Structure 1
Amino acid sequence: MANLAALVLVSLLAHTASAQQAKKVPRVGYLLSGSAPSPAPARPISTVETFRQGLRELGYVEGKNIIVEYRAAEGKFERLPDLAAELVRLKVDVIVTGGTPSIRAAQHATNTIPIVMANVGDPIAQGFVASLARPGGNITGFTILSPELSTKRLELLKEVSPKIRRVAVFQNAAQHSLTMKEVEKAAKLLRVQLQVLEVRGRNDLDMAFEAVTRERADALITLANTSLRMNARTRIPIVEFTLKHRLPSMYEGSEYVETGGLMSYGPDEMANVRRAAVYVDKILKGTKPADLPVEQPMKFELVINLKAAKQIGVTIPQSVLYRADKVIR
């Protein structure tokens, strides 16, 4: 009888352990370079809320069948390594993040936990993946780069201001080796001279502004740079400079236009964030990140600010306005 009771007890314990394992709730880490998510949905909709929507569409409910651990640097990029390390210590099943500084922090924190890049510039040049088709390591996700972007941005600038001959380009060489080549090709086709300026952060802006003024550039383009775009301390001065000097400007993200800039043309980054939830789902179900190709954008948005156009004395052609996805009046 004693042996039988022992066997029954062992069986019950095994069944209980198996049931607990079956009920294990997956844990996702979300590393943010900006602010922490608010309890209520943000307006305009935030990247976090978009990711949450993507999870809900796949049947996930936070706190029930999935847990998301949010860690936010609040714009202080030096905090990112510690926050990434904290997520690793929590033994999350996958880390979601976007932007080069955040992805770099996650990459340095782990080479085993899968990392999904919600949005990134050139992941190959940054050393995040071996190739778009075959990422190769523990990182995959979505790039905001597309070959036609550079040409299209310059074309739109020329349509709005046909007389431009010299365009200042704010770039971060460490991030845009491939993008810059495309910009140069587009400039040659459109017979536009480029004034390429290295702008990585706030400390570079004053020298860049002086150079633009000195060389008399008559338009400005910014290449994808999360450090500039998502930080009001850099984004606002850039927009104010173009308005003060009446420079037609083309930006990579609508944040600039909402701040008062003239135009932006770029990928629908929120679509990438929503797709990041799909990749998280696949990874949680057993797919390796190395087997998930890095996807390029499929949808692009043109945003125009007519207030800015009036302020710098530019008339936006109807042919351009008709193509706009959003017009700020």
Structure 2
Amino acid sequence: MNGAGRAGLACLLLLLVARPGWAAAGSGGDAPRRVGLILFSQAFRPAAEGFREGMARLGYREGRELLLDVRDIGRDLEQVPGLIREFTRKGYDLVVTTTTPVARAALAQPRGPPLLFTMVASPLRSGLVSSLRVPGGRASGVSHIAFETLPRRLILFKTAFPSLRRVALFHSSRLPFLKGHIEEYLRPVANELKIELVDYPVNDTREFDACSAAIAPGEIDGIFMLPDPISVTMLEQLVRFSRERRLPLMVADNALLARGGVMGYSPDFHDIGVQVAGMADRVLRGAEVGRLPVQNPWKISLLVSVKEAR
């Protein structure tokens, strides 16, 4: 190597020492970064795999640059406070959560690592952040924009089933914010499509069974599932009722189609995991999580179950 080449190499090395963030994550030398990932249930496992894949693409080799601790709480939110305390005690660098309830339970703890949330329908309205552009606090993440996509979901439902006139909305009276979202996002487009939204307040599976049994044949043409946790717990009943009455069911999330329903329009859990890995990389390199803007999903997909459509 000539003198100019040696001088250039020395200059580059000095820059890398001065700005270690320029080096690849897999360059070695530093202790592995510790990340705790909390799954609400096994249904969200694809998000963990996407996160693992996204981190690998960024140069974080698991077991070397990254120690990823995935915990499935099996819908038991009472486990979350203990997990956050454990992650804090062990000096974890970051926590990644799935669903609004998990994120809220984690942030309810007075201390904890920076947090990135996923599968949150509305980060602002749920109180997880004070601003989408500058979240503040110790959290940011990827919004699931589940309420913002309500109009598009209804349009796609009507396009697939042009004869829809009366569409059932089964929702909990214990979640008054849902009514506001229906009026803000869904009712205007329903009026344009000449669809009557028929409300059926139900708070649990027993109430659903009683309510659905009282619905006369021909009273509704389809079922539109709302993005709330109670609806998800009633999915089995919704699917059974839709099949018995031969009614199309638009599910709230594509991940639910494996269990029933004719179509869905939502982000993909795996893709969201890959996306939030990019935010995690920035936090692990020193970015302040409260100054990272909340992101929308990179991609939203329409999925149709050919089996159910028949």
TM-score grouping bracket, smaller chain normalisation = 0.7 to 0.9
- Paired with 2:167 and 2:69, the residues of 1 have a C-alpha distance of 43
CA offsets, 1:135-176, max 9 Å, x none? 121110011116762222112222222222221224463664
SS in 2 for 1:109: coil
5+ residue gaps in structure 1? 1-21, 38-44, 311-329
Aligned to 1:278: 278
CA offsets, 1:229-269, max 9 Å, x none? 4x6xx332221111111111111212332223111111233
Superposed counterparts of 1:51-66, under 5 Å: 51-66=51-66
Aligned to 2:37: 30
Aligned to 2:185: 182
- Paired with 2:103 and 2:176, the residues of 1 have a C-alpha distance of 14
**8 Å contact kept, 1:88–1:109:** no
* CA 216–77 in structure 1, closer or farther in 2 if over 3 Å, else same: farther
SS in 1 for 2:279: helix
* CA 248–95 in structure 1, closer or farther in 2 if over 3 Å, else same: same
* Higher relative contact order (CA closer than 8 Å, sequence separation 6+): 2
| Shift of residue 285, structure 1, vs aligned partner | 0.9
Aligned to 2:265: 265
**8 Å contact kept, 2:283–2:289:** yes
- Report the residue type matching 1:186 in the other structure: V
- Paired with 2:137 and 2:210, the residues of 1 have a C-alpha distance of 39
- Paired with 2:126 and 2:139, the residues of 1 have a C-alpha distance of 12
CA offsets, 1:65-106, max 9 Å, x none? 111222221233343333333323333111101101211121
**8 Å contact kept, 1:169–1:197:** yes
CA offsets, 1:28-74, max 9 Å, x none? 1111111499xxxxxxx722111100110010011111112222212
Aligned to 2:156: 156
- Report the residue type matching 1:31 in the other structure: I
**8 Å contact kept, 1:168–1:195:** yes
**8 Å contact kept, 2:46–2:273:** no
SS in 2 for 1:270: helix
CA RMSD of aligned residues (A): 2.7
- Report the residue type matching 1:165 in the other structure: R
2:308 pairs with 1:305: no
Query: Percentage identity across aligned positions?
Result: 29
| Shift of residue 204, structure 1, vs aligned partner | 5.2
Superposed counterparts of 1:88-127, under 5 Å: 88-127=88-127
SS in 1 for 2:125: coil
- Paired with 1:150 and 1:185, the residues of 2 have a C-alpha distance of 11
| Shift of residue 215, structure 1, vs aligned partner | 9.4
2:212 pairs with 1:209: yes
For normalisation by structure 2, the TM-score amounts to 0.80
- Paired with 2:147 and 2:229, the residues of 1 have a C-alpha distance of 19
For normalisation by structure 1, the TM-score amounts to 0.75
Aligned to 1:194: 197
Moved more, 73-82 or 124-133: 73-82
* CA 285–235 in structure 1, closer or farther in 2 if over 3 Å, else same: same
Number of residue-to-residue matches in the alignment: 279
**8 Å contact kept, 1:95–1:115:** yes
* CA 56–213 in structure 1, closer or farther in 2 if over 3 Å, else same: farther
Aligned to 2:145: 145
**8 Å contact kept, 2:48–2:270:** no
- Paired with 1:191 and 1:36, the residues of 2 have a C-alpha distance of 35
- Paired with 1:296 and 1:211, the residues of 2 have a C-alpha distance of 40
- Paired with 1:289 and 1:200, the residues of 2 have a C-alpha distance of 36
SS in 2 for 1:282: helix
